[in-house]
């Protein structure tokens, strides 16, 4: 019985932990860094039609579904801070995992994603 209780406790603890390891950055903090000329590498992981409808200035588009195919291109940014965003956070989280698994160490998710950015305008 004790083993069952321990297993349930571990399961519940794992459910409260985010599925990604990336830190986050607020829209305010990102805007401040951009204004100070310290802009991180900003990657929009949405699809092309979403990107073309509007995106954060300076963001490059790398759809989350293609992230692993663009790791060679992104290699030059391996030591830089990278900020990812999408609409809800799901695609950005998946892209963050792909980057972290490829050895990128400074990956952040934009709090509120693109809707949060738009709301702050």
86 is catalytic: yes
Helix (H) or strand (E) holding 75: none
- Among the listed residues 43, 59, 83, 86, the single catalytic one is 86
* 82-101 burial code (b ≥16 CB/10 A, e <16): bbbbbeebebbbbbbbbbee
SS3 25: strand
> What residues are annotated to the active site?
86
């Amino acid at each position: 019985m004790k083993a069952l209780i321990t297993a349930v406790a571990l399961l519940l603890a794992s459910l409260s932990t985010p599925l990604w390891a990336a830190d986050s950055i607020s829209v305010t903090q990102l805007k401040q860094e951009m204004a100070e000329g310290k802009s991180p590498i900003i990657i929009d992981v949405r699809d092309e039609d979403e990107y073309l409808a509007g995106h954060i200035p300076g963001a490059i588009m790398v759809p989350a579904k293609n992230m692993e195919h663009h790791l060679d291109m992104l290699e030059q940014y391996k030591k830089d801070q990278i900020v990812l965003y999408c609409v809800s956070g799901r695609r950005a989280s998946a892209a963050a995992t792909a980057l972290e698994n490829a050895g990128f160490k400074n990956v952040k998710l934009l709090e509120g994603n693109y809707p949060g950015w738009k709301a702050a305008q």
